[in-house]
Amino acid sequence: MSKEKVKALDPKEVQPLKDNTFQQESTLIEIGKIEADFKELKQRKEYLLEHLETLESERASTIQKLTEKYGKGYISTQDNTFTPVEE
């Protein structure tokens, strides 16, 4: 390495490097936030899928109980009626 003196640079020449460094750091921080949000959303989705599975199981159980009690037919949740189906 040569023994040259350290040279002062014009701040205007260095400013684009400073700006770029700041933008890169900001971008990396934003990526980190997105990753954290993505992880949280993924966990929420997994919870909701499990909840949906539970709801589907409860629905099937209720339908089975009503079928055992009333036989095969159509159940209207709009007007709370049961219409038997001829077998």
Q: What pLDDT digit, counting tens, does each position of 10-20 carry?
A: 999 999 999 99
How many domains are there within the chain? Answer: 1
pLDDT grade for 3, boundaries at 50, 70 and 90: confident
Q: Are 85 and 73 in contact (CB under 8 A)?
A: yes
What residues have CB less than 8 Å from 70, skipping those under 6 apart? 82, 84
Q: Is the pLDDT of residue 66 over 70?
A: yes
Q: Indicate whether 73 belongs to any domain.
A: yes
State residue 1's pLDDT score.
Answer: 59
Domain that holds residue 58: 11-84
Residues 59 and 70: beta-carbon distance below 8 Å: no
User: Could you tell me if residue 51 is inside a domain?
Assistant: yes
Residue 3, in any domain of the structure: no
pLDDT-based confidence at residue 67 (cuts at 50, 70, 90): very high
Within a domain: 20 = yes
pLDDT, residue 2, reads 66
> 24 lies in a domain?
yes
Structural domain contains residue 6:
no
- Does 59 fall in a domain? yes
Cβ(53)–Cβ(43) under 8 Å? no
Q: 62 in a domain, yes or no?
A: yes
Among residues 20, 43, 23, 42, the alpha carbon closest in space to that of 31 is found at: 23
